[in-house]
Structure 1
Amino acid sequence: MRADRLVSLVLLLRQRGRLSAPELAKELEVSTRTVLRDVEALSTAGVPVYVDRGRNGGFSLLPGFRTELMGLNHEEALALLTAGGAGGRQVFGLGSALSSAMRKVVDAIPAGHQLAATDAARRILIEPEADLLSRHRITEGIPESIMLEVRRSVLSGRKLRIHYAAEGRDPAWREVDPIGLVTVREKGYLLALVDGSDRTYRLSRILVAEELAMPAQRPAAVDLAELWEARSARFRAGESQLVVRARIDPLRREELAGTALAIIWETTDPDHWLRIELTFQDLRHAEWALWQLGNRAEVLSPPELRQALHQQAVEVANRYASPPGEPTARN
């Protein structure tokens, strides 16, 4: 771990020039004291790091200094392979490894092409933190210690013991055979087997994780995309889901599609609105999703959903019919 950090420190100084101790600490995700110790270790090893003192000072390398650097380690290679999925580096705890790997990639580019490559990278932005309406993405917070155990178990092929808090249930210990990790819309999932039966666990609901010494009982090869699609299809076909028919403004289709479980069918009415059939987890889920569309949607069925939305609209209308701050009567 420290060797990788020392290499990253050298690469940062080579690529950016002078950097202060706080700037290096932020990039390397360590304390300022650790940076100072690392700089001392590099100097002792003969790496020509020197310091410019003063308010605008910092650490630099002697001009023209180059050295042979080690190749990508396992974590960095894994980070690059999963970087294509924008959420992977955050959900699976690979952000630090990805940053380190990309510094090595940039350093490997011939000096004459580095400027063009880095400038091109600045002109491409994938999945920013907020959209044009300033709506921020919600990324699940998963403790690093838990993510490390889960990821290590998946990659080593060993059994995993987790303390899992399923929705609406008390947390319980489970021993699983991990198959793979999937991220969908900034949410991470563990695909596993329990006594040969498929199981899917939300990473954010794992309270404790422990890699075991026993080998996992799982297929030698796996197609995660195919496996995820199969599990999604079974989930969408569940008996507990609520089927909703509605008319919606076509401009709001993608918003609704992002909150529903699945779209079963859709067609276009003469007024260009969409007539659509969707599935939701339950009445509460459907009410929340359709309420976001305001008057740009009309539920056709089921009747209990129409009634719930009507009741909510009446209460909101009553609230704004009274002067600010005055209590309103509930129907």
Structure 2
Amino acid sequence: MRADRLVSLVLLLRQHGRLSAAALARELEVSTRTVLRDVEALSAAGVPVFAERGRHGGFALLPGFRTELTGLNHDEALALVVAGSRRGAQVFGLGSALASAMLKVVDALPESYRTTAAGAAQRLLIDPETDLLARRRDVEEPPDAVVAEVRRAVFAGHRLRIRYAAVDQAPKWRTVDPVGLVTVRDQGYLLATRSGEERTYRLSRILAAEELDEPAQRPDRVDLDRAWRERSTRFRTGGDQVTVRVRVDPARRAELVGTALAVLAEEADADGRLRMEVAFQDARHAEWALWQLAPGAEALAPQWLRDSLRDRAAAIATRYTASP
């Protein structure tokens, strides 16, 4: 880990010319004290790094210094494979590996290309954490150490022990045969089998993981896209799924469809509003989705959902009727 960090430090200085200890610490995700120790280690190893004091000072390399330390390690190469989605790399615990790999790739470019690429990169922002309304996306990111253990078991074809916290259940240890990893809308999932039956686990709910020496019981080849589609279909048609009839403003239709599992029927009323029959994962999902759309949507059935939404609205109205 330290060797990779030292290489990244050198590449950062090559690309930026001069950086303060605080800036290097932010880029490398370590403390400034660690950066100072790393600089001393580089100097001792003969790398011509020097400090410039003053307001605009920092660390820099002697002009003309070049390193050939651009070889990618396994995780960095893997990060580049999934780099089509930076969030995908983050979900699979490869965010730091992706940053390190990109430093090495940029450093390997001819100087003219490197300058052009750096300038172009400043003009592009992909998938920011907030939208125009300054709303942050709440993305559950599992610890990198846990995801790394899961990832190793998947690639090595070994069985895996995971401590999993299912919804409304106490965490339990279970042994699974990992099949593959999937990321959907910034959520990561482990596809596996347990006692021969297919299982899907959300990575953010895996609290601990341990790769075992036993080989996983799984086929040599897998079509993950097909496997995911089949599991998604079973998920939408089973479990505690509920069906809801709703009248919705056409302007809010996309929001409703985006959160529902499936649209089962749809027709337009005389007033232009849409009358739809949609499926939700369970009762809590249905109540949450319709509450988000109010007053742009009205649940027509089942009655328990109308009652629940009415009671919630009444409680909020009562709260805001009284003076604070």
Q: Give the 5 Å matches for 1:171-320.
A: 171-320=171-320
Cα distance in 1 for residues equivalent to 2:291 and 2:135: 17
Letter of the structure 2 residue corresponding to residue 25 of structure 1 = A
- The residue that corresponds to 1:85 in the other structure is 85
Cα distance in 1 for residues equivalent to 2:81 and 2:243: 38
Cα distance in 1 for residues equivalent to 2:178 and 2:42: 41
Letter of the structure 1 residue corresponding to residue 141 of structure 2 = G
SS of aligned partner of 1:295: coil
Letter of the structure 1 residue corresponding to residue 48 of structure 2 = P
Given that 2:267 and 2:274 are in contact with CA atoms closer than 8 Å, whether structure 1 keeps it comes out as yes
Q: Give the 5 Å matches for 1:139-158.
A: 139-158=139-158
The 1:17–1:271 alpha-carbon spacing in structure 2 relative to 1, beyond 3 Å, is farther
Cα distance in 1 for residues equivalent to 2:120 and 2:251: 33
- The residue that corresponds to 1:164 in the other structure is 164
TM-score by length of 1: 0.91
Given that 1:91 and 1:139 are in contact with CA atoms closer than 8 Å, whether structure 2 keeps it comes out as no
Given that 1:246 and 1:276 are in contact with CA atoms closer than 8 Å, whether structure 2 keeps it comes out as yes
Letter of the structure 1 residue corresponding to residue 183 of structure 2 = T
Cα distance in 1 for residues equivalent to 2:206 and 2:244: 32
The 1:85–1:268 alpha-carbon spacing in structure 2 relative to 1, beyond 3 Å, is farther
Cα distance in 2 for residues equivalent to 1:198 and 1:308: 35
- The residue that corresponds to 1:22 in the other structure is 22
Cα distance in 2 for residues equivalent to 1:59 and 1:39: 8
Q: Give the 5 Å matches for 1:74-113.
A: 74-113=74-113
Q: CA deviation at 1:298?
A: 1.6
SS of aligned partner of 2:259: coil
Cα distance in 2 for residues equivalent to 1:311 and 1:33: 56
Given that 2:76 and 2:101 are in contact with CA atoms closer than 8 Å, whether structure 1 keeps it comes out as yes
Q: In terms of mean alpha carbon deviation, does 210-219 or 258-267 score higher?
A: 258-267
- The residue that corresponds to 2:70 in the other structure is 70
Letter of the structure 2 residue corresponding to residue 260 of structure 1 = A
Cα distance in 2 for residues equivalent to 1:272 and 1:123: 43
Cα distance in 1 for residues equivalent to 2:303 and 2:201: 33
Q: CA deviation at 1:57?
A: 1.8
Given that 1:181 and 1:188 are in contact with CA atoms closer than 8 Å, whether structure 2 keeps it comes out as yes
Q: In terms of mean alpha carbon deviation, does 273-282 or 5-14 score higher?
A: 273-282
Gaps of 5+ in 2: none
Cα distance in 1 for residues equivalent to 2:224 and 2:123: 32
SS of aligned partner of 1:138: coil
Cα distance in 2 for residues equivalent to 1:113 and 1:271: 59
Cα distance in 1 for residues equivalent to 2:275 and 2:86: 33
Letter of the structure 2 residue corresponding to residue 59 of structure 1 = F
- The residue that corresponds to 1:323 in the other structure is 322
Gaps of 5+ in 1: 326-331
TM-score by length of 2: 0.93
Given that 1:247 and 1:274 are in contact with CA atoms closer than 8 Å, whether structure 2 keeps it comes out as yes
- The residue that corresponds to 1:126 in the other structure is 126
CA offset digits 1:245-279 (Å, max 9, x no partner): 21222332333333322333444445443333221
- The residue that corresponds to 1:328 in the other structure is none
Task: Report sequence identity in percent.
Answer: 64
Given that 2:86 and 2:95 are in contact with CA atoms closer than 8 Å, whether structure 1 keeps it comes out as no
Two-structure CA RMSD over aligned residues (Å): 1.9
Q: In terms of mean alpha carbon deviation, does 251-260 or 226-235 score higher?
A: 251-260
Given that 2:245 and 2:301 are in contact with CA atoms closer than 8 Å, whether structure 1 keeps it comes out as yes
Question: Alignment length, in residue pairs?
Answer: 324
Q: CA deviation at 1:239?
A: 4.5
Given that 2:159 and 2:175 are in contact with CA atoms closer than 8 Å, whether structure 1 keeps it comes out as yes
